[in-house]
Structures are given as C-alpha cells and as structure tokens.
Structure 1
Amino acid sequence: MGRTGRVVRHRALRRRADLTATRRRTLMLIGCVLALAAPMIAGAATLVGRRVGIDAGDATWIVPHSIDLSAANAAPDAPPTRLRIARLGVDTPLEDLRMDAAGVLESPKVFGEAGWFTGGAYPGDAGPAVLAGHVDSKTGPAVFYRLHELAAGDTVEVRRGEGWLTFRVTASEHYAKAQFPSARVYGPTPVPELRLITCGGTFDQARRSYRDNLVVYAVLI
C-alpha cells in the first residue's frame, strides 16, 4: 500500500472513531435527560386524586405536597383578614388555616366564616391565594352556601392590611372529588389570583359528604 492509500485509510478510521464517540455522547445525554425527567414525572403523578372536602360531614382539605404554594412577595405583616362578596351578601373575617403533620388543612372552626391557607400565596401577590369555607352545617347554610351563584365578571374583595383588593371572577367549575385537578387549582400563576373553594354537587348520605368540589377562579383587577 502506497503512502496515499495509508493516509486515506487513516482518515477513514479516524472518522469512524469520531462517529462512535459522538454516538456514545448522545446516548449518555439521552440517559441523563430521562434520569432528570423521572422524578418530575413521578411528582406529577402525585397530583392525581387530591380533593377538597369542606362540608358538614367531612370538613377536611388535602393539599398536594408536590406543589409549592408559597408566594415570593408575601408580606407576613399584612395577612388577609376579611372577605366580602357583595352579590352573595358575604362579609366575613378570615380564619388562618394551616396543615397538620399529615398534610391535612384545618377547616374553618366557625361555619359562618371562611379561612385562608397561610402556607399559600397572600392575596395580591403572584400565585393562587386559597380561601376555603363550608357550604353548610348540620343546622343550615354556611358561609359559602351561595358560592355557586358567582359568575364571570362578578367581584370579590379581600382586606389586606389597611386596604381592600378587588378580584374579578373568571370561572366557576365543579369537579368530582376523585378527579380533583390539583395542578389547575393550586399550581403557580404569574399574576395574583384567587381560589374560593367549597363542596358541591349531590350529597352522599352514606359518606355524609358531598361528592363534588366547587372552585371559583378570580384574578386581581
């Protein structure tokens, strides 16, 4: 084999080695991407089946652990203290609601009062601020008994510090508790939003609880 032939063969072997190395790097990269995606997929799976149960029979609310509801701009010195919904005749103080060690949020102690989830966004800060209330009690209607009457365009007011924040309702939706869309309800938002949550639908006499959840969505105006 002449000098020219040896040079050509050497270049061909080098190109083959480079191609093999490139393929190996590509496979390694794909493996890393899949490894990173696995925990995210597993985390998303935990969102399925979360539900709210705030009624006379089952006053508990389970919050998804995999969603960070904290607000970057929260002002600890000015929590929300009152809720007004003029159309429904609601004017109530807000109880502070926290989660226990089992991840279950406290329900409002007074059926005629709503509560604010202190571990979530503050009303007026970026993210979904969550307010929850009973739909009824064993003796009659509770604070959110007429929540289903709210429609897009209605306003909701929340007192924070010395001022009032006004939110405009954008949607009102019912969800079966077994298919509660946690990512949609609790997921982070780039603008200040509000979630008003109670129970709805038909009442299950055997379980002493409502079958659905009612969620009213609103944005700051």
Structure 2
Amino acid sequence: MAAPQTTEPPSPGAAAPTRSLGRALLWPLATAGLGMTLIYHSIGSPADDKAPAPPPVAASAAASPSAGATPKATPSASPALPRSVPTRLSIPTIAVDAPFTPLSIGSSGRLDAPPPNDKNLVGWFKDGATPGERGTSIVAGHVDTTTGPAVFLQLRFLKPGATVDITRADGTVASFAVDTVETFSKADFPDDKVYADTPDAQLRLITCGGNYDRKAKDYEDNVVVFAHLDSVKKG
C-alpha cells in the first residue's frame, strides 16, 4: 500500500497468522532496511508498512460466508477456475498494468509487502485462493513509496462496475467486476468482512488511505475494493 509502516495491529488479540490476512495487512513500518511487510495498511510516505493478517483464509472456498460479508452469488451460478498463480493485473480505468509477486505472512503475523523499491508491483497472498478460484483472493499494493506515487495511488477512485483483469499462469484472464470501494480505519479493520472465505470467486484489492500520521509514519485507513469474478477468457 504505501511506504510508511504501521505499528502492531490495532486490536490486541489479532488473529493468528495462519492463512490469515486480516490484521496483518496493516503493515507497521520497519526500519528502512527491512522493507515493508505489508503494503495496504501503510502506504504513503517513506516508511515500511504491513497489512493486518487476514483471518484464516482457505485456499479454495468452501466455508459459508460470515455475517456482514459482501453478498455473493451461489457457487452453482457463478464462474470459478482451477488454481493458477496470477501473473499480471490490469485496471484500465485507473491506468494500472502491473506484474505480481507472491506474499506470505511474516513472523510478525502480518502479510509481507511487495518490495518498496518497485512502484509498479502488486502482491497476492499465496496461501489463499488464487484470483478466479473459489474463495477470497487478496491482492495488495502501495499507494506510494519513498520515491513517489505507486501502483494503487488511484485505487480509491474505482467505481462499481469497473473491470479488473488478472492474467494467470494457465493462460486465462479472470475478469472481475467491482462491487464496492470502502475505506476502513486501521484501528477498527473489519477482518471478517474483508477476508472471510466465500463460496464463489471473489477479489479484494487493498492499499492505504486516509490521513498520513507523520508521527506514526503510517496512514490511518485502508482502502478496500470488493469485486467478484464476472467472466473468463483466454489470454
């Protein structure tokens, strides 16, 4: 999300790192040499950031959606693809065209962030569902870095109905339709709503947003795009 790093997840009993992206996505900033652990929770200035670790997210959907989660279509009525790693993200309306790098949950219990020295790079939670597979796929990117604007700078401007295309290693392109774009305080991040597993193929794009706290070297909010798999085509 952004260069700045956040501190520990806001709530003391944050979920364990196991396949969890929830609070880990609030990446606290580490020392400059450490690099950001997770982009979307702290994007903005010259610091390192990590996103809150998501609550346990199954690699493929099976669990029923938790209360309050974004409405989803029934598995039988919605398209889904077999597992295949993503290679490129394209969002024409905000001029995004970027390669992927896999992200893991680090020893701190937060999702590691993409390298801070590459402004045009997005990361996906490799232990969760791959984009297009049944379940919730998590993609994170910086809003800015110490060197300037980054890949998800305009993420907050996406509108419902916008198309997000993800090219996969198997040669397919999974096209997602944006449902909503929401902003959440990092101090009260709705893990269940954002990371809960789903019976259909869903996508979450996450970055930092809101005001930048220079003292904490972190953004106060996270911008989250909720989208569902709309169609599939050959690359």
Give the TM-score category using the shorter length. Answer: 0.7 to 0.9
Does residue 1:69 correspond to 2:69, yes or no? no
Does residue 1:81 correspond to 2:71, yes or no? no
Aligned counterparts, 1:94-173, within 5 A = 94-109=100-115, 110-160=118-168, 161-173=170-182
Deviation at 1:68, TM superposition (A): 2.9
- The two structures, once aligned, show a CA RMSD in angstroms of 1.9
Which has the larger share of helix? 1
* 3-state SS, counterpart of residue 190 of structure 1: coil
Distance 1:200 1:101, change over 3 A: same
Q: Which runs of 4+ in 1 moved over 6 A?
A: none
Distance 1:196 1:105, change over 3 A: same
Counterpart Cα distance in 2 of 1:87 and 1:197: 17
Is 2:166–2:175's contact at 8 Å kept on the other side of the alignment?
yes
Distance 1:100 1:46, change over 3 A: closer
Aligned to 1:59, which of 49, 65, 76? 49
Deviation at 1:202, TM superposition (A): 0.7
Is 1:54–1:107's contact at 8 Å kept on the other side of the alignment?
no
* 3-state SS, counterpart of residue 193 of structure 2: helix
Aligned counterparts, 1:179-198, within 5 A = 179-198=188-207
Is 2:99–2:120's contact at 8 Å kept on the other side of the alignment?
no
TM-score, normalised by the number of residues in structure 1: 0.73
Match of 1:27 in 2: none
* 3-state SS, counterpart of residue 99 of structure 1: coil
Consecutive unaligned residues of structure 2, counting only runs of 5 or more, are 1-12, 16-21, 27-40, 62-79, 231-235
Corresponding pairs, count? 174
Deviation at 1:101, TM superposition (A): 2.9
Return 149-158 or 109-118, whichever deviates more: 109-118
Give a deviation string over 1:111-162, Cα, whole Å, max 9, x none. 3211111011111111110000000012210000000110101010001121
Give a deviation string over 1:69-122, Cα, whole Å, max 9, x none. 32169856x211110000011110001111123322110112321111101111
Is 1:84–1:157's contact at 8 Å kept on the other side of the alignment?
yes
- Whichever residue aligns with residue 71 of structure 1, its letter is S
Consecutive unaligned residues of structure 1, counting only runs of 5 or more, are 1-44
Counterpart Cα distance in 2 of 1:102 and 1:69: 20
Identity of aligned residues (%): 40
Deviation at 1:58, TM superposition (A): 3.5
Counterpart Cα distance in 1 of 2:108 and 2:148: 30
When Rg is computed on C-alpha atoms for both structures, the one with the higher figure is 1
